[in-house]
């Protein structure tokens, strides 16, 4: 059985002791060290080269998100599990964006923590169901606000280019050999997909996202 080296990072000694005591009972886990803040975590990761770091988020000196970023710069092979009491969207997304492969709340069942450590050490990801639902809700919200450029059809992109050139609906219809009614339908669809309400906003948004170029 391959051994998994673990670094525990939390600013509360009782929490570190409790987690360490629990993990030591697993034959494939080895606690290589502990850290009480983000700066110490960076130093210990550099010194001990753990496979997995259990990282709290809110700590003195340096928070968990910044600690993950710094460790990743020096040791990209290290895997991170955020183990925290915070389920706020802001913390979730910052933690995942920084490079965490798992996000668990401290009240998660111990078996779920064991499973997460083993999964992350293999290069997999695991997000607690209650957190995963928040992630999916946020992604759905973002997709409504900022649709991907790929959602525009080729014809809609053509209409956008002509709009950017200042062409009227009639001119666009003539150049594309379609009716003005069809042009209006395309423009309505473009507005919905880009989440805008005017031609100027549509063109500006399309330029910013690289959908069209002048």
* Calpha distance 203→64 (Å, rounded): 40
- Residue 195: pLDDT band (50, 70, 90) is confident
Cα 10–48–79 angle (5° rounding)? 65
Reported as a single tens digit per residue, the pLDDT across 9-67 is 999 999 999 999 999 999 999 999 999 999 999 999 999 999 999 999 889 889 999 99
Give percent of the chain above pLDDT 90: 56
User: Residue 175 in contact with residue 167, Cβ under 8 Å?
Assistant: yes
Map out the domains of the chain with their CATH numbers: 4-142 (3.40.50.2300), 149-208 (1.10.10.10)
The pTM assigned to this predicted structure is 0.63
Give pLDDT, residue 170.
93
* Calpha distance 156→185 (Å, rounded): 10
* Calpha distance 52→146 (Å, rounded): 34
Reported as a single tens digit per residue, the pLDDT across 137-173 is 666 665 555 544 447 888 999 999 999 988 999 999 9
Which single residue is written with the structure tokens 């998100």?
65
Give pLDDT, residue 42.
96
Exposure letters 64-99 (e unless 16+ CB within 10 A, then b)? bbbbbbbbbeeeeebbbbbbbebeeeebbbbbbebb
- If residue 39 lies in a helix (H) or strand (E), which one and from where to where? helix 38-48
pLDDT of residue 91 exceeding 80: no
* Calpha distance 60→95 (Å, rounded): 17
pLDDT of residue 125 exceeding 90: no
Q: What are phi and psi of 195, to 5 degrees?
A: 60, 50
Give pLDDT, residue 69.
92
Mean pLDDT, all residues of the chain: 87
- Residue 88: pLDDT band (50, 70, 90) is low
Q: Which structure tokens are listed for 209?
A: 């996202």
| Range 114-131 average pLDDT | 85
Reported as a single tens digit per residue, the pLDDT across 93-103 is 788 888 888 88
pLDDT of residue 130 exceeding 80: no
């Amino acid at each position: 059985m391959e051994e998994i080296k673990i670094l525990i990072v939390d600013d509360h000694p009782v929490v570190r002791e409790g987690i360490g005591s629990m993990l030591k009972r697993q034959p494939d886990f080895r606690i290589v060290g502990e850290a009480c803040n983000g700066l110490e975590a960076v130093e210990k990761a550099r010194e001990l080269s753990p496979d997995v770091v259990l990282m709290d988020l809110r700590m003195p000196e340096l928070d968990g998100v910044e600690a993950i970023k710094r460790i990743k710069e020096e040791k990209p092979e290290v895997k991170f599990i955020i183990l925290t009491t915070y389920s706020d969207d802001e913390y979730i997304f910052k933690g995942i964006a920084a490079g965490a492969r798992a996000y668990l709340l401290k009240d998660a069942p111990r078996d779920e923590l064991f499973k997460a450590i083993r999964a992350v050490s293999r290069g997999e990801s695991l997000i607690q169901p209650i957190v995963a639902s928040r992630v999916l809700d946020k992604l759905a919200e973002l997709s409504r606000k900022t649709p991907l450029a790929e959602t525009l059809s080729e014809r809609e992109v053509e209409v956008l280019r002509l709009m950017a050139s200042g062409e009227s609906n009639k001119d666009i219809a003539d150049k594309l050999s379609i009716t003005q009614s069809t042009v209006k339908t395309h423009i309505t669809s473009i507005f919905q997909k880009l989440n805008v309400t005017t031609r100027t906003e549509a063109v500006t948004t399309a330029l910013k996202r690289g959908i069209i170029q002048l």
